[in-house]
Structure 1
C-alpha cells in the first residue's frame, strides 16, 4: 500500500536528540512517531485554548 506521508528534515541539538531517543526507546516507538505524537498533542492543546 502506498503512503502519502510527507518527509521533514529538522536540526536538533545533541541534548534534544538524546531526549527523543530516550522517549522512543522507553515507549517502543520510532523517533518519527515521537514527533508525530508531540505535534498532535500540541495541536490538541492549542485548539483547546482558542475556544
Structure 2
C-alpha cells in the first residue's frame, strides 16, 4: 500500500496550529484535566488512530 502525500494544513488554513495549540491549552487547564487525565489521552490516541497518524 502506497502512502498518500500529507496535506500542508498550515498553508491551507493559516493560524490552524495556533488554534489547535489554544484548544490543547484550554483542555489542559480545565478541571477535566485534573479529574480525568487518562480520558484526555485516550481521546488523543483515538483521534490519531482515526487520522492514521502516530501519537
Normalising by the residue count of structure 2, what TM-score does the alignment of the two structures yield? 0.35
Larger Rg: 2
Select the structure with the greater relative contact order (CA < 8 A; seq sep ≥ 6): 1
